[in-house]
Chains A and B, each alone.
Chain A
Amino acid sequence: MSESLDTKITANPLIVLREEFDDWALLFNPDTGNTFALNPMGVFIWKILEQGELSSAITRKVCESTQDAPPDAEKQVEDFVLEIVRLGLARKEGERDS
């Protein structure tokens, strides 16, 4: 995880998480009506973001949570979190609401 990305990232509190029977979930933005599907690992990360966490710690927690993390797990987590931020579902510390 690059130094520049190691900021605290927090889920947008307006976003609704709808967990389903198979551990997948929907993220729903009531303002825009947009919906996003999350797989179980995405749900795990989202719950970390709900508490607010440094990006490096997010990666560490994910890797600790799984026995067989793929070699590119760190990159995958980083990309996922960046995408969540880009979609306005979470924000980096210091950023304002758009």
Chain B
Amino acid sequence: MTANSAGTKPFYPIAELYFYLTADCNLNCRHCWIEPRHLAASASSSCLDPALFVKIIDQAVPLGLNRVKFTGGEPLFHPRIEDLIDVVKKRGLRLTVETNGTLCTREIAEKIASVDNAFVSVSLDAANPEIHEWIRGKKGCFAETLTGIRNLTGAGLHPQIIMTLMKRNPGEMERVVRLAESLKAGSVKFNVLQPTARGERMFAEGQAVDIADLIALGKWVEEDLSKTTILPLYYDQPPAFRSLESMFNPQSGLGCHTCGIFTILGVLAGGSYALCGIGETVPEMVFGNAARDSLRDVWENSPVLNDIRSGLPARLEGVCAECLLKNVCLGSCIAQNYYSRHNLWAPHWYCEEAHRHGLFPETRLRQTETIK
């Protein structure tokens, strides 16, 4: 947060827009937190209008925009993806692409690589094709993803491999790291399955890893697995469970996950402005639409966004209210927290679950006696 010229009203730049470019996807992943429509076609039929995309970017740059993230659905399923990348490049913006990799042709990889400092992450949930395809819902997609990754490295990029953890695949973690090394990836990130949309159903079906095992896996990644590779490994759990050194050592620290909601806005495939991606499943978290509303107006006057700005982190509840890292973490993910409880100040499920089981680190709580 910075002060505006009058020094009175806080000014929040929109540093980054998350574009959920397509409302459909060529894969059918059983854990997807957006739940796009599965479409067995060569291109999305429900995607962001490129003219609207340009209009949004033009309105966002004066509000501080310097980065865009293309996600989805599957962003590379957008039939005009190369044109959108060109717009980002021409405006000198930073680009992040989150993709399943299956549609990443050599041409698209080169187009992405033509943007300065582009960052790409590719989902790969196992080194075993059968497990990856069980998770991703399409036969043959493992080989397609590997081809996509090779196209990216061939274009000079070193994508991050993202593996989402669920009951079926922790045994694959080490092998994914080895595969990432052989593919010349830049890093590996282990995401925890979130209880959102299809992920929520996986939790209900008992396909999520138990909290005690998740915490143990995080420790193993940080203390053991990371020592076996030159690749940076990120285990995406709230900062309460990370060692201080892993987050704050300027030499080796990897930083920590913190909710970026003060400077991030989501744009859905239909042009709606939303609290990151959850506007797709939670309609009250949609704040307007680019086709009719001014972005400045939405950004500055949305009651929900203003509520978040004035209330975060002080109004966080439950274990987040007691957490010594709440000023850094900001509740980890407000969108996820809202999805879980329909309450912006709800604690993050991971920390809450750990606290309930007596597994929350005592040194990270205001009152150590709250854990017995």
A interface residues (Cβ-Cβ under 8 A, vs B): 18-20, 22, 24-26, 28, 30, 33-35, 37-39
B244 interface residue per 8 A CB criterion: yes
| Given A26-B363, A37-B248, A20-B327 contact (CB < 8 Å) | no
Q: Residue of B at shortest CB range from A34?
A: B327
Bin chain B's interface residue count. 10 to 19
Determine the distance from Cα of A22 to Cα of B361 in the docked complex, in whole angstroms.
13
B324 touching A28, Cβ below 8 Å: yes
Beta-carbon contact of B245 and A18 below 8 Å: no
Q: A18-B363, A26-B364 are in contact. Are A35 and B243 (CB under 8 A)?
A: no
Are the C-beta atoms of A20 and B324 separated by less than 8 Å?
no
Q: Shortest distance in angstroms between A16's beta carbon and chain B's nearest beta carbon? A: 9
In the assembled complex, the CB of A89 is this many whole angstroms from the nearest CB of chain B, namely 14
Is there contact, CB below 8 Å, between A35 and B249? no
Cα–Cα distance between A25 and B364 once the two chains are bound (Å): 10
Q: Besides the contacts A26-B324, A35-B327, A35-B328, what 9 more A-B pairs have beta carbons closer than 8 Å?
A: A20-B244, A20-B363, A24-B243, A24-B245, A28-B324, A33-B314, A34-B327, A37-B247, A39-B248
List chain A residues, Cβ under 8 A from B244: 20, 22, 24-26, 37-39
Given contact pairs A24-B244, A37-B248, A19 touches B363 in the complex (Cβ within 8 A)? yes
- For the complex, what is the distance from the CA of A35 to the CA of B247, rounded to whole Å? 14
Query: What B residues does A19 contact at CB under 8 A?
Result: 363
- Residues of chain B from 38 to 89 with CB closer than 8 A to chain A in the complex: none
Whether a CB of chain A sits under 8 angstroms from the CB of B296 is no
Sample 13 A-B pairs with CB under 8 A, ordered by A number: A18-B324, A18-B363, A20-B363, A22-B243, A22-B244, A24-B244, A24-B245, A26-B363, A33-B326, A34-B327, A35-B325, A37-B248, A39-B248
Residues 314-353 of B contacting A (Cβ, < 8 Å): 314, 324-328
Return chain A residues, CB-CB under 8 Å to B327: 33-35
- Say yes or no: is B366 at the interface (Cβ < 8 Å to chain A): yes
Hey, which chain B residues are within 8 Å of A25, CB to CB?
A: 244
Which B residue sits closest to A19, measured CB to CB? B363
Give Cα A39 to B247, complex, Å. Answer: 11
A-side contacts of B328, CB under 8 Å: 35
Contacts of A26 in B (CB 8 A): 244, 324, 363-364
B366-A28 in contact (CB<8A): yes
User: Could you tell me the distance in whole angstroms from the C-beta of A42 to the nearest C-beta in chain B?
Assistant: 10
**Closest Cβ neighbor of B367 among chain A residues:** A30
Q: Once bound together, how far apart are the Cα atoms of A32 and B314, in whole Å? A: 11
How many Å from the CB of B239 to the closest CB on chain A? 10
User: Closest approach, in angstroms, between the C-beta of B342 and any C-beta of chain A?
Assistant: 26
A30 to B245 Cα, complex, angstroms: 23
A22-B326 Cα distance, complex, nearest whole Å = 21
A47 to B99, CA, bound (A): 49
Q: How far is the CB of B314 from chain A (nearest CB, A)?
A: 8
